[in-house]
Amino acid sequence: MTSERKSIFITGAASGMGRETARLFAGKGWFVGAYDVNEGGLKDLQTELGAANCLIRRLDVTNRADFREALDSFAPAAGGRLDILFNNAGIGRGGPFDQQPWEDIVAVVQVNLMGVLIGIYEAVPLLKATPNSLCFTTSSSSATFGMAGIAVYSATKHAVKGLTEALSVEFKAFGVRVADVLPGLIDTPILPPGAAEAAPKEGMWRAMPPTAVAEVVWQAYQSDRLHWYVPEEIAELDKAATLAPEATRDQMAQSPMFLARDQAG
């Protein structure tokens, strides 16, 4: 590898949005670092992309030492540069807050928030050393307005969105760009079975392929835009939640799912 070849470090790369992003960037000649707890998925990905184009490693994003070791092995393979850090790893565990197991709550916070904090904190030196680098993170449409039924997940994604905004200001001092993607319903393994098929065929809650997010990561590298929405209609919810939070709350409270729960006591 030479320092002229651009590189991307992707967490949650074994499937879904992370895997499609790895495929897209490898196809454009980038060196890909692919990380996940799913080692079988990573091996399949490396076979597909080729060992010369893809470095894989099991990574627990909640373990700071593990993250540091992953970056330490990635840096020389990537020629000492990190053009994009894509903090994509996440888990989705939901249910009514008062009924959700405490262990699930902690796990969601650890992976979706602490994993992002650790990744950025440990990657800052490499990002600083790479001209025009991008720190990019997967947030969620649930970061536009708190989503009932996935309250803790939504809270972590709100935190990611706020972190992105704050660091986009701080990191300007050393030329590192910061942005995020707020996906709606993406057809990946994180969804419950049948959810994509049952989704509306149009509008902001239509099911989108994971390739749509991969394309956004590519576009974000060419841009200075802060928030990216997949699909773009999610931006409308973001605006509504800011301008009329009470109306947004009341509209969501009238959805069939939550009316059924209230009637059931």
Q: Which residues pair with 87 in a beta bridge?
A: 137
Contact 150, 109 (CB under 8 A): no
Contact 222, 195 (CB under 8 A): no
d(CA 27, CA 22): 8
Residues of the chain where predicted confidence (pLDDT) is lower than 50: 1-2, 257-265
d(CA 103, CA 191): 20
Q: What is the pLDDT of residue 105?
A: 97
- Torsion angles phi and psi, residue 54, rounded to 5: -145, 120
DSSP string covering 60-105, please? -TT-HHHHHHHHHHHHHHTTT--SEEEE-------S-GGGS-HHHH
d(CA 206, CA 57): 33
Contact 64, 118 (CB under 8 A): yes
d(CA 250, CA 21): 37
Strands 134-138 and 54-58 turn out to be: unpaired
- Give catalytic residue positions: 153
Q: What is the pLDDT of residue 255?
A: 65
| Overall size of the chain counted in residues | 265
Q: What's the maximum distance between 2 C-alpha atoms anywhere in the chain?
A: 63
Spans of all domains in the chain: 7-264
Q: What is the pLDDT of residue 53?
A: 96
Secondary structure (3-state) at 238: helix
Residue 177 contacts by C-beta under 8 Å, 6 or more apart in sequence? 132, 133, 134, 135, 168, 171, 224
Rounded to two decimals, the pTM is 0.92
Contact 56, 42 (CB under 8 A): yes
Architecture of the structural domain at 7-264? 3-Layer(aba) Sandwich (3.40)
Contact 217, 28 (CB under 8 A): no
Q: What is the pLDDT of residue 139?
A: 97
